[in-house]
Chain A
Amino acid sequence: MSYVAHDESVFVRPAEVEEPELYHPKTFIGKYIWSQDAKVIGVQYSITAIAVGLVALVLSGIMRLQLGFPHTFSFIDPSNYLQFVTMHGMIMVIYLLTALFLGGFGNYLIPLMIGARDMVFPYVNMISYWIYLFAVLLLMASFFVPGGSTGAGWTLYPPQAILEGTPGVHMGIILMLVSLAFFIIGFTMGGLNYVVTVLQARTRGMTLMRLPLTIWGIFMATILALLAFPALFVSAIMMTLDQTLGTSFFVPALVSRGEHLDYSGGSPILFQHLFWFFGHPEVYIVALPAFGIVSDLIAVHARKNIFGYRMMVWAIVAIGGLSFIVWAHHMYVSGMNPYFGFFFAATTLIIAVPTALKVYNWVLTLWRGNIHLTVPMLFAIGFIFTFVNGGLTGLFLGNVPIDLPLSKTMFVVAHFHMVMAVSPILVVFGAIYHWYPKVTGRMLNDSMGKFHFWVTFLGTYAIYFPMHYLGFLGVPRRYYAVENLDFIPQSAQSLNVAITIAALIVGAVQLVFLYNLVWSYFKGKPSGDNPWQATTLEWQTAHTPPTHGNFGSTLPVVYRWAYDYSVPGVEADFIPQNQPPIKRAGSSEEA
């Protein structure tokens, strides 16, 4: 396939990459179940993550029912409510978003986009998925054990997480901690693959600065995750020991229900440091892949090169580095030395600089672009709105005096849902609409997609925008019911009803999306190899869906970056990355 005349003099032999020892599945099971093909593993990760995410979605609906219509549902009691809050939060952050972005998109896209046949350690990659699945099953099992799942809040703060009175204090919390430990082990196996594959398996000509931003985002997020998850791992093990063997890592001497417990001297603050040392980078573990993907969606669907590619790369790297020195902004209320508060407030505000820079660059890319309002583009634009909104409230919360009264209120819930729940989820949807044709060979239905977008985007605004006001009023988070408090006016309850209705509608519309996924798999319009006319390598494969080994007999050679859209003087409005430089009158494109 040739869009422009080749300049034969600059043609380069295909890469002489050592053929990896591709494993050749023979049976159905070998091909789709015990598969070592990163594409299959990516799909397995995605399906599992979406399935468990649906559980979390249902839980959020139940919570909203309780908040909107207290005294109505007998099956929700205060303990249940806390259990649902906890499981919803943990599932969404770790088991859905982290697994989907890195395990799902990472596995599917990394080898294809960098021009590799597979991940460098396919066997380890396969094990990674099965350990993830095991972690998910352990977590789900905790719903059914005596006492139910833990209700400690997704932050799992000790001592309450392991003291009588908190739901799920015997088995629920242990299953949660063990499941997290397994998740981390599984993730580490996958993560080694993602990093080493990006570093070592790029095809010929694919320099770091020609990588699509999607890969940069996933790459940096994986580095963050590899270094940050050990903190959660350590705290999970130490808390398990506190609960089972009675060590006192985190639990101080205390009297519980009139009884002196056997603990002494442990430090709850130590847990908070460890947890947030992981917890803050975690925000960027889900944000950086979203940043990367959204950059590519915008460039492709606005037919324009990304504004400030190098700035975008450095911003990703800078955000990654900075995200390790802001963690204590989650601990302002724990009572800390004002100088530390100042330090962490300052770093928190500094990290906004590269982040804002990215937002400007997205907007400038859209500026005078040839914007196609496709479904992926709609979701990308929706992301920019929601992310800016959530980011701005983050700037407020980053300041100690503002955070102190707002922390533990619905304001925080509104803030983090905007910035790290809805925004990445919008990107997930955009990415699925964008890459579904490559995975299945069929387009997702457009009308259903647009309907899904508008209801989800407007609906989430309807849910979270008013929630900020509830926070101002002082409505606390993690409360089963808020009643008979003088400072909260009656009208707050009307607002709660409205929010709940919006949440139920948004939840229901996700069924349309699921239906679309299934329907289009059988009945969708055939997509061809490159339906979006995109430049990156995954769209240049000989087959759609790509076969085992991705690129047929020879690997592509890369001659240019991923953003040659609407190049002046070239007829086609995009030039694939594997297109050799063009000879123009008198000069060649080559530098």
Chain B
Amino acid sequence: MTSTLLVLVAIMATVVWWLLRQTVNVRPWIAGRPAEGVSGDGALPLPPVKVGLGVFLAVATSLFALLISAYFMRMEGADWTTLTVPKGLWLNTAALMLSSVAMQWTRVAARRGRIDGVRIGLIAGGVFTFGFLAGQLWVWRQLNASGYFVAANPANAFFYLLTALHGLHLLGGLWVWGKTTAKAARGAEVGAVRLSVELCTTYWHYLLLVWLILFALLLSTPPRQSSCPPDTFAICGVTK
């Protein structure tokens, strides 16, 4: 659980640090006029959806960190075998990277107020993302065809689980992407889609990062460290 703990400690530390900064040296019992500003003092200077996305990414981070912890702990099991990473994943990774680049390009176009750039960028980003998802499905089919279904061995089970959850997150992003693209295609002003474009871009970068970490995990997993005798993996599990 160490990896989860580290991630959560980082998140909680940020929360606590921020809260303390807001609350230290304040004498709450003293009445006084509010500071100038549009809303509650101490609000972040961001639109609510951006804060919402940030909070959601924290939740998703907790989810993926827990899965990674579980992966490490399960690796201690006596029956662990390494996953032969399908070659197709390299291609998929490239597609996901391109989609992220396209989204970044869209963001720049939106900032500069170029709606045609936004349209092209969105479509390119979507195409690469769908490409990635189709590629993942294809890898699934390949694995399945060569006899590795979910229950074949724990590494495969994790592979399906991790890719499925990552894919579902992307699908959620594609839903917002779809609404934004439809809006842009129907000739909306840049201002009307800028915020959604920014949100999508952040989300795409985040999911790319998650994917790179998961991919690295799948690639780098050594055959099986037998540092822990099988009967004590309970204890080793905590430290891993």
**Chain A residues close to B by CB (< 8 Å):** 10, 12, 15-18, 114-115, 120-121, 188, 191-192, 195-196, 199-210, 223, 226-228, 230-231, 233-234, 237-238, 241, 245-249, 253, 262, 264-267, 269-270, 273-274, 277, 305, 309-310, 313-314, 317, 320-321, 324-325, 328, 334-337, 340, 557-561, 563-564, 575, 580-582, 589-591
Contact = CB atoms under 8 A, between A and B. Distances in A.
Contacts of A267: 73-74, 76-77, 233-234, 237
Interface in B216-240: 233-235, 237-238
Contacts of B33: 10, 12, 205, 559, 580-581, 590
Nearest to B54: A196
Interface bin, chain B: 35 or more
Contact of B70 (A234, A248, A313, A324): A234
B52 A196 contact: yes
A41 to B, nearest CB: 17
B77 A266 contact: yes
A314 B20 CA distance: 8
* Residue of B73, B150, B234 most packed against chain A (CB within 10 A): B234
A230 B62 contact: yes
B38 A336 contact: no
A265 B1 contact: no
Instruction: Please report whether the interface of chain B is mostly helix, strand, loop or mixed according to DSSP.
Output: helix
A559 to B, nearest CB: 5
A241 B27 CA distance: 53
Given A196-B48, A273-B237, A590-B32, A205 B63 contact: no
* Residue of B20, B35, B157 most packed against chain A (CB within 10 A): B157
A120 B51 CA distance: 11
Interface of B: 1, 4-5, 8-9, 11-12, 15-16, 19-20, 22-23, 26-35, 37-44, 46, 48-49, 51-52, 55-56, 58-59, 62-63, 66-67, 69-70, 73-74, 76-80, 149-151, 154, 157, 161, 165, 233-235, 237-238
* Residue of A188, A223, A247 most packed against chain B (CB within 10 A): A247
Nearest to A340: B238
B234 A321 contact: no
Contacts of B19: 208, 317
A159 to B, nearest CB: 14
B8 A336 contact: no
B228 to A, nearest CB: 11
* Residue of B16, B33, B58, B67 most packed against chain A (CB within 10 A): B33
Nearest to B11: A227
Contact of A305 (B22, B29, B51): B29
Given A192-B52, A245-B151, A277-B4, A12 B23 contact: no
B237 A269 contact: yes
Nearest to B230: A265
Contacts of B23: 208-209, 310, 313-314
Contacts of A195: 55
Contacts of B15: 223, 317, 321
